[in-house]
A = this chain, B = another copy of it.
Amino acid sequence: MAAGEPVLIVGSVAFDNVKTPLGEVQDALGGAAVYSAVAASFFSPIKLVGVVGEDFPQKHMRFLASRNVDLAGLQRLAGKTFRWVGHYDGDLSQAHTLKTELNVFEHFRPRIPVDYRKAKYVFLANIDPELQLQVLDQVGCPELTVCDTMNYWIENKRDALLEVLKRVDVAFMNDGEARELCGTTSLVTAARQIRDFGPSAAVIKKGEHGALLVTDSAHFAAPSYPLEQVVDPTGAGDSFAGGFIGHLATTNDISEANMRKAVICGSTIASFNVEDFSLKRLATLTPEDIAERYREFRQIASFEGLE
């Protein structure tokens, strides 16, 4: 089991109905908090805060518990679990949402258990920024807070999102979201502007083009892993963020140099995640798989000192 600083993760737990060019799943375990928690659990113990309905099966609870995910903060409310219905067509970077059933999530108010509040590493997965602010109000003084978001909040809750950005250390966004938030086509400009909003580091996810980490002192361009076939992109960004914060927590080192490695850890986990539907691939993933792919990333990115 991974040892290291625990990571508090707050976000959605969901059932997903997903169709991609390579197949489909119904009632599959999903949600940003689940993907990021399972990803981060390869590195550090996880404390999960979210909500499920009465229909959330014990097998999923057992799966998460088996992955080093503490579920004391997972609320169970009367009603149904949040559900996302969507599909991906030719362009796997573009999810098409058919239906979002908030269900119990509609009334979710994050309550952080007392013993979670001193967590040094906190990940605010993609949820309403007003809920993200409620989490920030409850936690003490974390070593590192990381947030993710999505275009819906950029368009509909911009002020709350900007308030979140003022208060976190690292902001994750995909390229389209970064461009939309900052009103620019240049990702370099967008990354600078995001940092002007508050976070000391911006991480811009570019799907098949990798990711950018921009800090005060550095611009790091991480490649993506060259997968010829992506089975299901769902959760790629969440598992990327989970691998990122998991690595930082287990090493308890938030230096810029270590953040670069954390980006590669995130890319590694995300590249596995998209190889199968839902959490299937992460469920069988081993530390040896992760170590080997991390080494492959080194080969992909190096242009000097190769043996």
Contact = CB atoms under 8 A, between A and B. Distances in A.
Given A187-B208, A210-B209, A306-B260, A224 B221 contact: yes
B228 A303 contact: no
Interface string A203-215: 0001011101010
A91 B202 CA distance: 22
Contact of A220 (B185, B264, B300): B300
Copy number in the complex reads 2
A92 B301 CA distance: 25
B221 A301 contact: yes
A219 B298 contact: no
A264 B187 contact: no
A245 B187 CA distance: 29
Contact of A218 (B185, B186, B223, B299): B299
Interface in A290-307: 297-304, 306
A226 interface: yes
Interface string A31-58: 0000000000000000000000000000
A188 interface: yes
A52 B297 CA distance: 46
A114 interface: no
A261 interface: yes
- The number of chain A residues touching the other chain, given as a range, is 35 or more
B303 A301 contact: yes
Nearest to A259: B303
B227 A264 contact: no
A257 interface: yes
B303 A261 contact: yes
B303 A222 contact: yes
A144 to B, nearest CB: 18
A90 interface: yes
Given A210-B221, A261-B303, A228 B189 contact: yes
Most B Cβ at <10 Å: residue of A206, A221, A228: A221
Contact of A209 (B206, B219, B303): B206
Nearest to A213: B303
Given A209-B206, A210-B221, A306-B260, A188 B228 contact: yes
27 contacts: A90-B185, A186-B208, A186-B228, A186-B229, A186-B230, A188-B227, A189-B228, A206-B209, A209-B209, A214-B226, A218-B299, A219-B226, A219-B299, A220-B303, A221-B223, A221-B224, A221-B226, A260-B302, A260-B303, A260-B306, A261-B304, A263-B303, A297-B303, A298-B303, A301-B301, A301-B302, A301-B303
Given A212-B226, A220-B303, A223-B223, 10 more contacts: A90-B185, A186-B208, A186-B228, A187-B208, A188-B228, A189-B228, A220-B300, A261-B303, A264-B303, A297-B303
